[in-house]
Structure 1
Amino acid sequence: MQNTQLKAVIYMVLSMVAYQISASFAKQLFEVLDPLTVVTLRLCFASILVILMFRSWKIIKRLPYLRWSDLLFYSGSVCLMNALFYASLGKLPQGIAVGLEFLGPLTLALLSIKQKSDYLWVALAIVGVSLMVPWQDTQSPNFSWLGATFAISAGFFWACYIYFGQRVVRQNIGMHALSIAIVLSALVMLPISAIHNPTALFQFQYWPQALAIALLATAIPYALDLMALKHLSKLSYGTLSSLSPALGALAGLVLLNEHLNLWQIIALVCITTASVGVTFNAARSSNIETSTSS
């Protein structure tokens, strides 16, 4: 495997670990704040973090010359993906919400297949996610079809996020693209949240938790995603994304002593095999193309 390909995979794994931890924190915060307020606070804090981290005031002079169509679609995808996923988390068990959201990147992976051998890896990923999701919870009072609709919609915008993220990285503005997307998302969500529940935004005692969620769910994973998207195809990214439910299950096993059943262990094997297979296949194709062109 090429070093760049391996780095991209590492970036994705770190991104997914951070995001899974943040989702648990957010779910806990829903006990005192509504999901819309949590996602708004997260985006507001994240916009400050990314601007400071990447010193994005340097991009101001270049703003009139950027390809804004791609940037606006990318920003809109970031905003809607976050808002809809948090709305689903407020109505569904986390395992169900995460599993349904992954239909987006997995569908994009299917649509991006160019080699017949890749169907095997995507099929394995789909089987793995299907086995990992606690479908029995759909029979519980905690399940909501509206929440399921939110999660599937979040998955659609996640696929858009991947697609337009690849287009945005070609503009060679680095992490400033992320700063623009997060700031625009925060500017959209802030007035909506202020109208919906203005007092909740100023519950200062919850700002430290919101700041931690912003760091783990936005600043760190989105920056890592942009670095990964420079070297991964939509197929590779979409299939590798199926590792996230598996990482969440492993985190629960290690940190919370939540034991896996037999089907979830089989799911882990399927997802891991699919992720390794599609990554090595992409690396091999890249090597073949390189040797052919030279």
Structure 2
Amino acid sequence: MGPVLLVIGSCTSLQVGAALAVHLFALGGSTGTTLLRLGFAALVLLVVVRPRVRRWTGLQWRAAAALGLSLGAMNGCFYAAISRIDLGTAVTVEFLGPLTLSAVLSRRARELLWVALALVGVVVLGVTGEHHGGSLDPTGVLLALAAGAFWAAYIMTSARVGEVVPGHGGLAVATAVGALLLVPLGAGGALQALSAPGGPWLAFGTALLASVVPYSLELAALRRLPQRTFGVLLSLEPVIASLAGWALLGQRMTPLGGVGVALVVLASAGATATTGRSRRDDGDGRGRVDLTAPAG
């Protein structure tokens, strides 16, 4: 599967899982739901991958720990946000994080144009996306912005793990680290959700669709795409989130919001085309390595 399809598959699975997680909020709250999502995902990944951590170096442990911190913070803030504002709106605001990362890392003027167009679409969709009208919940917006900042950190730390840890062992350990971070705040809610009828199945489905599948696909994509291109391709995320919110949660989109969706799709298509041309220009890919390396 090509890297572009990997990103699209990740976006779709993630947003369907997020819509499923909304049903868990009434049982365990947003933090309890986040803990269940990462906890179940960690169990699945650790059993399937069986990382050989005894052979890890300090560098590999630090990379996995940094990814785990990003995962825990990103998911905790995002689930708290979608408990207050619509799924599509939350993802739109959150997307400003990776979009800003793409702008910072971009080195070609044509790529900056796609970033700018995606930003316009994100702003339009964010302003007009709430199905019930009225002003956005400011706390929800702030939480989505915080999730966006940690999303950008996730992109960088995930790329680093892909470089220094072979296979998916780094992702498995990082997911476990992220879950452990949420235990103090989410243990009570998680236990309450697990004791409710159907709660364990909802939790497992959320973990599979919102963590195991998308993070595995994204890790594979980041091994084959520059961070800046990956970030722009994620502009599909608000579109898919809006569709998932409409289809699974009854969160309608305004006509002007549809304009924002069209702009974001156009920017994603342009970014995809630019990626293809960049690969041909770069030949065997040399010269792009530093784009996925952390600053300093």
Normalised by the length of structure 1, the TM-score is 0.87
Matched-pair contact (CA < 8 Å) for 2:35–2:179: yes
How big is the shift at 1:26? Answer: 1.2
Distance 2:263 2:189 in 1: 43
1:1-294 alignment, distance < 5 Å: 7-54=2-49, 56=50, 58-64=51-57, 66-135=59-128, 137=130, 143-194=136-187, 197=189, 200=192, 202-205=194-197, 206-251=199-244, 261-290=254-283
Indicate the larger mover: 264-273 or 23-32.
264-273
How big is the shift at 1:32? Answer: 2.7
Instruction: Name the CA shift for 1:153/1:260 in 2 (closer, same or farther; >3 Å).
Output: closer
Distance 2:68 2:242 in 1: 30
Matched-pair contact (CA < 8 Å) for 1:106–1:126: yes
SS at match of 2:26: coil
Matched-pair contact (CA < 8 Å) for 2:19–2:245: no
How big is the shift at 1:232? Answer: 1.3
How big is the shift at 1:168? Answer: 1.1
Distance 1:254 1:89 in 2: 16
Instruction: Name the CA shift for 1:139/1:260 in 2 (closer, same or farther; >3 Å).
Output: closer
CA-to-aligned-CA distance 1:112-158 (integer Å, 9 cap, x gap):
11011111100111111222235474996784222211110010000
- Specify the code of the residue in structure 2 equivalent to 1:264: G
Instruction: Name the CA shift for 1:27/1:198 in 2 (closer, same or farther; >3 Å).
Output: closer
How big is the shift at 1:266? Answer: 2.6
- Specify the code of the residue in structure 1 equivalent to 2:205: A
Distance 2:275 2:155 in 1: 17
Distance 2:48 2:256 in 1: 42
Matched-pair contact (CA < 8 Å) for 1:95–1:134: no
Matched-pair contact (CA < 8 Å) for 1:93–1:142: no
CA-to-aligned-CA distance 1:185-233 (integer Å, 9 cap, x gap):
1222123323x55752542531110110000000000000000101111
- Specify the code of the residue in structure 2 equivalent to 1:200: Q
How big is the shift at 1:66? Answer: 4.5
Instruction: Name the CA shift for 1:278/1:140 in 2 (closer, same or farther; >3 Å).
Output: closer
CA-to-aligned-CA distance 1:73-95 (integer Å, 9 cap, x gap):
11100110011111111222222
Matched-pair contact (CA < 8 Å) for 1:253–1:260: yes
Instruction: Name the CA shift for 1:114/1:10 in 2 (closer, same or farther; >3 Å).
Output: same
Distance 1:257 1:37 in 2: 24
Matched-pair contact (CA < 8 Å) for 2:92–2:122: yes
Any stretches of 5+ residues in structure 2 without a counterpart? 287-296
- Specify the code of the residue in structure 1 equivalent to 2:228: L
Indicate the larger mover: 39-48 or 267-276.
267-276
How big is the shift at 1:98? Answer: 1.2
Indicate the larger mover: 103-112 or 233-242.
233-242
Indicate the larger mover: 71-80 or 250-259.
250-259
How big is the shift at 1:267? Answer: 2.4
- Specify the code of the residue in structure 1 equivalent to 2:201: P
- Specify the code of the residue in structure 2 equivalent to 1:33: G
Any stretches of 5+ residues in structure 1 without a counterpart? 1-5
- Specify the code of the residue in structure 2 equivalent to 1:247: I
Distance 1:204 1:211 in 2: 14
Normalised by the length of structure 2, the TM-score is 0.87
Instruction: Name the CA shift for 1:273/1:22 in 2 (closer, same or farther; >3 Å).
Output: same
